[in-house]
Structure 1
């Protein structure tokens, strides 16, 4: 089980939608707390800590500066994440589960979605990338694509252009993609982006049982 922090006390969680938050490389779960106040009513967030040690901080798997990673390490981290999510679902009466990942956390959110494609109502990926996996690609495109919000700054120096293009291809083939860019934001989560995330979650997480999901693209 991963270390975690919650956006609401235990008594207030039943009957809400669970949003699993995944931080970036060399960070920890506290970095995701800034998003808590922006979440719509009815969404409970849990920010998890990656189990891979990066100095005195954490990540999800070993990552080199070119964003290359060992596919087996990524799959192992994804399996451990899904085990934690299953445990959280068993502990609380949540109406559904969505994912939100920043930077390497986006790679983890996508990996969880690829491993359990029917397990999530929606997903959010911020300033991140998608790890290539020949094994997982054998079962793709995903049969039931979920709504996915992808936010970034075009001038983000951390995620290189090849990774952006590879991520775009995967998202367009496997999700119902909402893409947004935020000039001047850099490699972080911006205030305007948080407002857009709240709208997305209100429609596609909380409204999953009320609205027929249709594809919505923009950039």
Structure 2
């Protein structure tokens, strides 16, 4: 297996010791997640022109994840000037159409879990390097990349401080359980017809049972990312 990635690593993160480990969705590339994290860090107040932080819609046991409109948690630390990240390209390319993916569209549960495990072995070897020893690892993934991020936490429950799952696929996890201190941000659009509603509900149930979930839904949004979501991600990160 070969992974390609884009990186922006600060050797002295100036108070922001988070390292974002990022995985794009089906048919895209590593630039997708770079655009997302750059947007999260772009506005000093964490908001786009028309967005305000959500009122609490959280299932988390941790008080730090509960926020009120227009505010961040009292204990929140400011984000740094620029994010430090590793953004990976999917292991398979799409001939003729372009873009990449982590596992074949429509493949069985065992195959997708096997592909995620293979990526996990490579990623954890990389994160074991001394360069990353003092960092807090934060996963971010969209769609297939969101499911991959979840599987990494399941396989390595103590390695990641947080995981941001944006419209993740979740097929095959109906009886899953998760024991991990990792804090999760889970989000879907109410008009997301790419991920079946039963899978969305199951993702929420599994992560709620783990005990550290912040859950968001976005009216009218399909299988995509919206400005409000970017604002809510920033508020979540400020609470870490």
TM-score, with length taken from structure 1: 0.78
Out of 80, 84, 87, the residue aligned to residue 41 of structure 1 is 80
Q: Which residue of 1 aligns with 2:207?
A: 171
- The number of residues matched between the two structures is 196
Q: CA deviation at 1:131?
A: 4.7
Instruction: Quickly say closer, same or farther: Cα 1:32–1:141, change in 2 above 3 A.
Output: closer
Structure 2 residue runs without a partner (length 5+): 42-78
RMSD after superposition: 2.6
Structure 1 residue runs without a partner (length 5+): 205-219
Q: Which residue of 2 aligns with 1:210?
A: none
Q: Which residue of 2 aligns with 1:26?
A: 27
State the secondary structure of the residue aligned to 1:195. Answer: helix
- Distance in 1 of aligned mates of 2:201 and 2:163: 19
Out of 90, 104, 109, the residue aligned to residue 149 of structure 2 is 109
The equivalences for 1:1-219 within 5 A come to 2-6=3-7, 8=8, 10-11=10-11, 13=13, 16-35=17-36, 36-39=38-41, 40-41=79-80, 43-55=83-95, 56-64=98-106, 70=111, 71-87=113-129, 90-92=130-132, 94-132=134-172, 137=176, 140-142=177-179, 144-204=180-240
The structure that is helix-richer by fraction is 1
Q: CA deviation at 1:72?
A: 2.4
Contact 1:14/1:92 (CA < 8 Å) preserved in 2? no
State the secondary structure of the residue aligned to 1:74. Answer: helix
- Distance in 1 of aligned mates of 2:147 and 2:190: 18
State the secondary structure of the residue aligned to 1:148. Answer: strand
CA deviation map 1:7-62 (0-9, x unaligned): x4555558621011110011100112222142331642221111122332211112
Instruction: Quickly say closer, same or farther: Cα 1:84–1:50, change in 2 above 3 A.
Output: farther
Q: CA deviation at 1:171?
A: 1.2
State the secondary structure of the residue aligned to 1:130. Answer: coil
Q: Which runs of 4+ in 1 moved over 6 A?
A: none
State the secondary structure of the residue aligned to 1:187. Answer: coil
Q: CA deviation at 1:170?
A: 1.4
State the secondary structure of the residue aligned to 1:18. Answer: strand
- Distance in 2 of aligned mates of 1:83 and 1:190: 33
Larger Rg: 2
TM-score, with length taken from structure 2: 0.71
Contact 2:161/2:181 (CA < 8 Å) preserved in 1? no
- Distance in 2 of aligned mates of 1:132 and 1:79: 21
